[in-house]
Chains A and B, each alone.
Chain A
Amino acid sequence: QSVLTQPPSASGTPGQRVTISCSGSSSNIGSTYVYWYQQLPGSAPKLLIFRNNQRPSGVPDRFSGSKSGTSASLAISGLRSEDEADYYCAAWDDSLSGPYVFGTGTKVTVL
Chain B
Amino acid sequence: QVQLQESGPGLVKPSQTLSLTCTVSGGSISSGYHYWSWIRQPAGKALEWIGRIYTSGSTNYNPSLKSRISISVDTSKNQFSLKLTSVTAADTAVYYCGRAVDYWGQGILVTVSS
Contact = CB atoms under 8 A, between A and B. Distances in A.
A102 B49 contact: yes
Nearest to A98: B60
Given A98-B52, A98-B62, A99-B62, A44 B46 contact: no
Interface in B34-65: 37, 39, 46-49, 51-52, 60-64
A44 B104 CA distance: 6
Contacts of B49: 90, 98-102
A45 interface: yes
A30 interface: no
Interface string B8-21: 00000000000000
Interface residues of A, number: 23
B96 A88 contact: no
B29 to A, nearest CB: 19
B46 A103 contact: yes
Interface residues of B, number: 21
A110 interface: no
A60 interface: no
A104 B39 CA distance: 14
A47 interface: yes
A10 B52 CA distance: 32
A35 B49 CA distance: 13
Nearest to B52: A98
Contacts of B51: 98
Nearest to B61: A98
B104 A45 contact: yes
Contacts of B75: none
Interface of B: 37, 39, 46-49, 51-52, 60-64, 96, 101-107
25 contacts: A1-B64, A2-B46, A44-B104, A44-B106, A44-B107, A45-B39, A45-B96, A47-B103, A88-B47, A90-B49, A98-B51, A98-B60, A98-B62, A99-B49, A99-B60, A99-B61, A100-B52, A101-B49, A102-B39, A102-B46, A102-B49, A103-B46, A104-B46, A105-B46, A105-B47
